Amino acid sequence: MSKNSLLAWFLITSVFFSVFLAPTPATQAQTDPLYIVYINDQAGLSLVTQSAGGWSAPQTFVTAIDLPVYSLYASPDGQKIGVMYAQPYADGSPVVLKVYSIPTGTLLFEQNLLPANMPIFSESDLGNPLYEMTRAVTTALWSPDGQKLAFVSGHDGISANLYLVDFTSVPTPTALESHSGAAAFPSWSPDGNWLVYSDLETFGGAGYVSQGIYAIHLADAQVVTLDDGTLYPTDVTRVGWRGTDTLLFAPPSYTAGAHGLYGWNLSNAATTAFLPDAAENTLPVYDPISDIAAFVVPQQAGNLVFEPGVYTIALASNTPIQITTGDWYDVRLIGTPYFQAVGASGEMLINGQTFQQNSLPVGALGTFITPNLSGVVVYFNDGIQLSALDGSNPAKLPIEGALPPTWSPDGQWFITYGFTNAGAGLLSVDISTQVATLLDTTAAIGGLWTLVFDTTP
């Protein structure tokens, strides 16, 4: 897949092809209800339900307001959804966070995130707390148990701070910090005991300027300073969590994506280097079950440590293993312990434990492996091809302009938006039966949706 094709696949064509539109097969049934919440063509939200009986008819979930939907946040317990309403890049436009119950659409919480009568800003206002506030307040993140919602708000009119709402009681926002900058990039530990965030002086015109990175232990409100802006003045990118108290992170590289890989132990603020800062690599992806990370050293990187290629590293041994050389762009986690590498010469599936490599079919617009490793989905200009991992038993469904897949919990089907001879709309594609089901032709073109189901332990 060429570098240009990585961009081209986001384009939506207007040519319709025939597709078999069938009732939902029994293979899609599951015990617990699963919901899809998505924007409809009236700028409101609709909902469809999957249960043992298959897919329900679309129903109105929330009617439109005078602001467009900016983002959706499904709670891990499958019972609530946060909706951020905002008009991007509109000076003086309000930003509103609302939380609704699933599937009834009952309003549980509402908060205006900006004060009224905000001034109009320009790039010359970088560092002005009110300007940075407008850039920070479209962030929200559920706790792993789905009972608490952390979000950034500037409703006090002073600065953008981190707040918490607990839905086990009357949902009232509680301020978690009051730093002078803009709170950004919150990250929950897997057990919900820690909440890490950054305090930015500015989101910057050319990069972030950090005033500090902090971790809050919610049980006793203890705050640990991980950095005061000295070590990482341009902040860091969160990679994942190793256990419940070690946050993996990487300083940014504007050439390759990241400088190395590190871990912060929040209990004692100790730092462990897994990859050195001198390394220039793509942002590592981490599998917490196998404790293995994977990364690419691209050819354009000014790397002083590793030659270009694909690597894995078992963090317990702290020894990177080069899987292959060549011109590779990126790597992503598929499922324990498998990673998918994308490069100039093709795509491959890598076993992070045995280092076995398997070439994958390549499409013009993207290749996606099923999370359960049962097959591969390849996007072409004239349709979507479903096949085994080696490309055998292919079946092409004539769906044009499809957006990236959102996978079901069991990896047996995915949701996308695409064009068919019956019209454009939200689609469910079953991998095992190789059948596409048109769920709703009134879904908004371009698509914004989320799956809502219980993911708590």
In a domain, 179, yes or no: no
In a domain, 411, yes or no: yes
In a domain, 22, yes or no: yes
22-36 average pLDDT score: 51
In a domain, 12, yes or no: yes
- pTM of the predicted structure, to 2 decimals: 0.89
In a domain, 421, yes or no: yes
Domain range enclosing 19: 1-32+361-445
What per-residue confidence (pLDDT) applies to 447? 83
Confidence of residue 89 (pLDDT cuts 50, 70, 90): low
In a domain, 330, yes or no: no
The terminus-to-terminus CA distance of the chain in angstroms comes to 38
Instruction: Give SS3 for 222.
Output: strand
pLDDT 10s digits, 95-120 = 999 999 999 999 999 999 999 888 88
In a domain, 127, yes or no: no
Strand partners, 418: 425
Give CB contacts under 8 A, 24+ apart, made by 5-13. Answer: 5/364, 5/365, 6/329, 6/366, 8/364, 8/365, 9/364, 9/365, 9/366, 9/379, 11/401, 12/401, 12/403, 12/419, 12/445, 12/446, 13/381, 13/400, 13/401, 13/419
> In whole angstroms, what is the distance from residue 161 CA to residue 153 CA?
6
- Taking CA atoms, 251 is separated from 248, 273, 277, in Å, by 11, 12, 8
In a domain, 18, yes or no: yes
**What total number of domains does the chain contain?**
1
pLDDT 10s digits, 419-446 = 998 889 999 999 989 999 999 999 999 8
Name which of 418, 441, 444 is nearest 15 in CA terms.
Answer: 418
How is residue 74 written in tokens?
């499904």
